[in-house]
Amino acid sequence: MAAPKALVAGNWKMNGLKASVQEIEDLQKLISEKNVHCDVLVCPPATLLAHAIEATKGSSIAIGGQDCHTARAGAHTGDISAEMLKDLGCSHVIVGHSERRSDHGEDNDMVRAKASAAQREGLVAIICVGETEAERDNGQTLAVVTEQVVASLPEEAEAINTIIAYEPVWAIGTGKTPTAADVAEVHAAIRSVLKERFGESGDEVRILYGGSVKPDNAAELMAVENVNGALVGGASLKAESFYGILQAYG
């Protein structure tokens, strides 16, 4: 079975003001000048979602959220529901990012509930998994990552509305990256879990790599077997550097 079309997603995290939407417009111009052979997604902070969706109307760039609540609505001050994201025009939402897991104490059960809420509303859930440096040093990487995948997948999940993003926690924003062989080993283990869960359609689930992805290492990382794109942090904040990563699929 052919590998699924790659997706390169930019996670802006808690960065960006209204003027930053210009970077998305600049990215559109770069893509229009030279097509890239991958899907492109930008996940700005909630304050910029409406602006980003307006700016990308008619373009090939999709817009997604960085998190969602498990409920459709209710007394949850400061939270955003998957229904609200869908209503705005989002197509995807990130759930279970390591920063949510560490900053907000989100465990696999919570991540699974959020992914379920996203998929219930017709959004694609990008479920993040990854080991800490201590877990890596103790040889626990595969056990930790596969357990996170299994425990974070909703019962009703389908291959079509599920993306897994492997981000070793120790590589996020540090400039450190695992070797291509290390990435291949982890992504192969994730693929095995997905095929066990979804059968043959497990090959259709995109598995993204994230963690200090930059223009100068993107081509090597994106060429690894079972790597179907990237979840990009800091390098996605500027159109030029994000486009440099997209060129891995140029």
Sequential DSSP letters for the chain: -PPPPPEEEEE--S---GGGHHHHHHHHHHHHHS--SSEEEEE--GGGHHHHHHHTTTSSEEEEES--BSSSSSS-TT--BHHHHHHHT--EEEE--HHHHHHS---HHHHHHHHHHHHHTTPEEEEEE---HHHHHTT-HHHHHHHHHHHHS-TT--GGGEEEEE--GGGTTTS----HHHHHHHHHHHHHHHHHHHGGGGGGSEEEEESS--HHHHHHHHTSTT--EEEESGGGSSHHHHHHHHGGG-
Asked about 97 being catalytic, the answer comes back as yes
The pLDDT score that the predictor gives to residue 59 is 96
The pLDDT score that the predictor gives to residue 250 is 81
The pLDDT score that the predictor gives to residue 104 is 97
Residue 155 domain-assigned (yes or no): yes
Each residue's pLDDT, cut to its tens digit, for the chain (250 residues) gives 778 999 999 999 999 999 999 999 999 999 999 889 999 999 999 999 999 999 999 999 999 999 999 999 999 999 999 999 999 999 999 999 999 999 999 999 999 999 999 999 999 999 999 999 999 999 999 999 999 999 999 999 999 999 999 999 999 888 888 999 999 999 999 999 999 999 999 999 999 999 999 999 999 999 999 999 999 999 999 999 999 999 999 8
Identify the domain containing residue 186 by its residue range.
96-238
Q: Which of 69, 97, 99, 187 is catalytic?
A: 97
The pLDDT score that the predictor gives to residue 144 is 98
- Whichever domain contains 192, its CATH number is 3.20.20.70
Q: Which of 23, 99, 167, 204 is catalytic?
A: 167
Number of domains in the chain: 1
Q: What's the token pair of residue 47?
A: 């304050």
pTM over 0.85: yes
